[in-house]
Amino acid sequence: MTREEFLARLRRLSPLAEANPAGYRRRVWLWALLGYAGILLLLLGTVGLLLLTLAVGVFSKAFAIVFKVGAVLAVFAWKVLRSLWVKFDPPEGLPLTPAEAAPLLALLQQQTQALRAPQVHQVLLTADFNAAAVQVPRLGVLGWPRNYVVVGLPLLQSLSPVQAAAVVGHELGHLRGGHGRFGAWIYRVSQTWTQLIEQLERQSNRSLFSRFTAWYVPRFNAWSHPVRRTDEFAADAAAAQLTSPQAMAEALCATVVRDATLDRLHWNVLSASLAERPTPPSDAISRLLPLAKNSRLPAADEQILLANANEAEPDLFSTHPTLGERLAALGQAAAVPPLPATTAAEAWLGASLPALAAALDEAWVSSRAAIWQERHSLLRQQQERLRELTTQQQAGASLTADESWELADLTEDHISSTEALPLFQQLTDDARWKLPARFSVGRILLNSDNAEGLTWLAAVMEQEPNYMAPGLALQEAYYQRQGNREQVRKLGAVQLRHADTLDEAVAEREAIRPADTLLPHGLTEEELQKLRAELAVPEYAIGRAWLMRKQVQYFIQKPLYVLLVARLSTAAGSSKEAPETWVQELAAKIELPGEGFVIAIGKDFAWLERAARQQAAAEVFVA
């Protein structure tokens, strides 16, 4: 299902959910059961066929045939079971004990009882600015969940106890019982299927069950989308009932402002020290605590952050309402709350706070040390290279186009985009770098709110599809800053269509098949001579080569070539080395005039050889 099809389905279903909520929920319930029915049918059908085969074998005594059929069914049944038996990893974090967090654990106990939510098995503390209630199904898609509440120390240190209680109450609200049981169940079913698909994709497990999930999950998500969106409001209402509407609203507004504050005053400063520090600081989380409690951005910046979040356009794909929608449902106005006198972290963790922060410090360093050191080394190398190129330029030396691009790129990364702009402008007519240079000019201009950047970006996006997605994102951000909501909506529709087109383009370019139409290569004589010179490299050991072009429907300005090669029979080691190994190494070395495949002649591609021999101009090289 494409994104446009999904969105069109949402637009049809949302009015149905509003017109008849009870009837709509029954239909969503049936869709949820369909998923489990599909699993059950796969299992029972496979086992049933296996038993039937064994029975036929017993009565017919055709044991040889039955054994072969039974073996095939048994293998298939094993694959189905293996697809279903997916291990879900529990969330990471420091487990909190009653000795460390008695007030928090007592609060959770009270809230779970009030909401008739399932038991929380473990509470985890993390270094993230976030909170979540996570269910890990012990039987995979079949359920039996173990429940976790995950709370981020930076978040707890930024909120008052009542605000943090509202946040935790919202997360538990997704698991609640009573009147909200159906929405909570749909939420859990959706989360389980999402996790299952992620695991199957990670394992590249392309079984029959994978094909069922590919058909079922988008449709279930579309039907359940209005219910899950409504459940977000219901979870807010549950949290407001546990605390107050004002507390829930303050928590929502505070998270917007405080998260940005910590990014600007702590994490961005930490990132800026990468080039100077060979190892990450040992107290990154502990150092954050006083900032989270006491620091603020300028009042004008806070108001802009809150206004942007409050006035944001709803994302039809997201089940999470916008801040403005959530505040309206609570009957509260957007306002930046004052800093807490006592934070939730201080109230709930007490004397254990320093030790827990130190433990998170250690975990943070352990998880980032290797990446930090690698990044530090790279930045130092880049700075040294920037100094070399700058010295050469100032001395009047002539830089190559590649060196000029490198200088512009490093200048933007390590000095400023303002100083890099004229360096990119000098490359806008270079044969190799003109498109990335023009895009960079447009990007820098647009990020500084210069509308001239729109013209630069549009010209590049028209010529090169790879620039479409980042170009559209830059345009959307520009119009959002300008407050032009109509243009933002239009760009959203364009992004949607482009994403679907990109999916189709990737699919048609990922393989070459007998059903494909193969066209003449269309190269100029100059391009052919360059390719022939490369094919003639002795170490490649190519005897003959044919070049064709696959007919594509999307991005036709970007040809997709097919190079069919035959190896020299006299090549050293040709009898020992597998053709697959040879052609893989060849594909990594040969530079085609565009995207394409390099394929060795063989029985698997006999149809491709026939197609090549039917085109008189396809043969481009003979040793």
User: How high is the pLDDT of residue 145?
Assistant: 81
More confident residue, 8 or 418: 418
Interatomic CA distance for residues 351 and 537, integer angstroms:
72
Q: Is the pLDDT of residue 399 over 90?
A: yes
User: How high is the pLDDT of residue 177?
Assistant: 63
For the chain, how far is it from start to end, CA to CA, in angstroms? 48
> How sure is the predictor about 86, in pLDDT bands with cuts at 50, 70 and 90?
low
User: How high is the pLDDT of residue 204?
Assistant: 52
Check the CA dihedral 224-225-227-232 and report its sign.
positive
Q: Is the pLDDT of residue 57 over 80?
A: no
Q: Is the pLDDT of residue 575 over 60?
A: no
What percent of the chain clears pLDDT 90, i.e. is strictly above it?
55
Residues 6+ apart with CB under 8 A from 206: none
* Mean per-residue pLDDT of the chain: 88
> How sure is the predictor about 62, in pLDDT bands with cuts at 50, 70 and 90?
low
Q: Which domains are seen in the chain, by residue range?
A: 398-510 (1.25.40.10), 518-622 (3.30.300)
User: How high is the pLDDT of residue 402?
Assistant: 96
For residues 141-146, average pLDDT: 72
Lowest mean pLDDT, pick from 197-206, 388-397, 596-605: 197-206
For residues 359-385, average pLDDT: 96
**Most confident option among 198-212, 306-320, 521-535:** 521-535
How does pLDDT run across 543-560, given as a tens digit for each residue?
999 999 999 999 888 899
Q: Is the pLDDT of residue 236 over 80?
A: yes
How does pLDDT run across 279-293, given as a tens digit for each residue?
999 999 999 999 999
User: How high is the pLDDT of residue 578?
Assistant: 67
For residues 435-450, average pLDDT: 97
For residues 31-52, average pLDDT: 78
Interatomic CA distance for residues 425 and 526, integer angstroms:
29
> How sure is the predictor about 381, in pLDDT bands with cuts at 50, 70 and 90?
very high
Lowest mean pLDDT, pick from 180-189, 268-277, 515-524: 180-189
Residues 6+ apart with CB under 8 A from 342: 160, 161
For residues 465-488, average pLDDT: 92
The 10 Å CB-count burial string (b at 16+, else e) for 390-429 is eeeeeeeeeeeeebbbbbbbbbbebeebeebbebbebbbe
For residues 338-342, average pLDDT: 96
Interatomic CA distance for residues 368 and 363, integer angstroms:
9
Q: Is the pLDDT of residue 353 over 70?
A: yes
Lowest mean pLDDT, pick from 188-192, 196-200, 612-616: 196-200
Q: Is the pLDDT of residue 394 over 90?
A: yes
Lowest mean pLDDT, pick from 260-264, 422-426, 482-486: 482-486
User: How high is the pLDDT of residue 76?
Assistant: 65
Asked if residue 565 lies in contact with residue 599, where contact means CB atoms within 8 angstroms, the answer is: yes
Asked if residue 327 lies in contact with residue 310, where contact means CB atoms within 8 angstroms, the answer is: yes
**pTM score of the predicted model:** 0.77
Interatomic CA distance for residues 256 and 312, integer angstroms:
13
More confident residue, 103 or 67: 103
> How sure is the predictor about 268, in pLDDT bands with cuts at 50, 70 and 90?
very high
For residues 302-310, average pLDDT: 93
Counting every residue written for the chain, the total comes to: 623
> How sure is the predictor about 54, in pLDDT bands with cuts at 50, 70 and 90?
confident
User: How high is the pLDDT of residue 220?
Assistant: 86
The SS3 call for residue 75 is helix
For residues 448-475, average pLDDT: 95
Residues 6+ apart with CB under 8 A from 214: none
Interatomic CA distance for residues 171 and 169, integer angstroms:
5
Between the CA atoms of 47, 30, 322 and 498, what dihedral angle is there, to the nearest 10 degrees?
60
How does pLDDT run across 191-200, given as a tens digit for each residue?
667 766 666 5
More confident residue, 113 or 37: 113
Residue type, 117: A
Q: Is the pLDDT of residue 34 over 90?
A: no
For residues 444-470, average pLDDT: 95
> How sure is the predictor about 11, in pLDDT bands with cuts at 50, 70 and 90?
confident
Taking residue 92's Cβ as centre, other Cβ atoms within 10 Å add up to: 11
Taking residue 349's Cβ as centre, other Cβ atoms within 10 Å add up to: 25
